[in-house]
Amino acid sequence: MGKLEGRVLLVSGAARGQGAAEARLFAAEGAKVVLGDVLDDQGAQVAARLGPERALYVHLDVRDEQSWQAAADAAEQTFGTVDGLVNNAGILRFNTLSATPVEEFREVVEVNQTGCFLGMKTLAPRLVRAGGGTIVNTASYAALTGMAYLTAYAASKAAIVGMTRVASMELADKGVRVNALCPGAIDTPMTNPARAADSGLPLDGAETARSDTDAFYAKLIPQGRMGHPEEVARAALFLSCADSSYVTGAPLVVDGGWLAGVSVL
């Protein structure tokens, strides 16, 4: 018996990176997984490797409420119910405060913050009808402390932590636990430009970008490296299974010690 045996979970942003790692781990732990993303080819490939008895891919634009409803409907029609959600989809933009276009700010908020809100709004009533369940919202290290050039991203992720706490209070007596993951620097296409190049996205100087990125984080993070998507997936598993049965409304930091402080040596 796996830790998620008999469960059905929907993971947004599941075509690659953390979301794909979460989908794979959840399936290995016995869950049936609905993978949502706008990267249809990549998402369908991840689901196909897991098998139709274990996984379903759906097109999911997290900014759109009808898209969420369609994804939740597909989960119930295919697997009979849905009792877990991982709000993983997100985007990252670097810019100074004064140079950030309002359109860019709104784009980040729309995907990261509004997308998370719509996921909870859509799935919470279904989780209650299913008899309870779990919601894991992906926030960030940047939600808990400052980091230059991340005004839009930090604002959206801090909002996710706030919404998580409110939702946990509203849903606790209905059998639904709501927690937030706060990853630090994780080696995915979103945070590591070299990985983006590896994934087929255009990037000049991929090897230089990889070297520079690794060196940058090695100086900042006490453990001396970026994290791996699988390490975040294991934290998401903890918050989605009975191991965390008395945990709700909490931000779980997965950052190699970055939030604890930065070494000056």
Question: Which of 128, 131, 133, 120 minimizes the C-alpha distance to 8?
Answer: 133
- Contact status, residue 260 vs residue 222, Cβ threshold 8 Å: yes
153 is catalytic: yes
Distance CA 245, CA 112 (A): 26
- The three-class DSSP label of residue 60 is coil
Q: Which residues of 58-93 are buried (b: 16+ CB within 10 A; e: fewer)?
A: bebbbbeeebbebbbebbeeebebbbbbbbbbbbbe
- Which residues make beta-bridge pairs with 56? 34
Q: Which of 57, 141, 153, 217 is catalytic?
A: 153
**Cα dihedral sign for 148, 152, 157, 163?**
positive
Would you please indicate which residues are annotated as catalytic (active-site) residues?
153
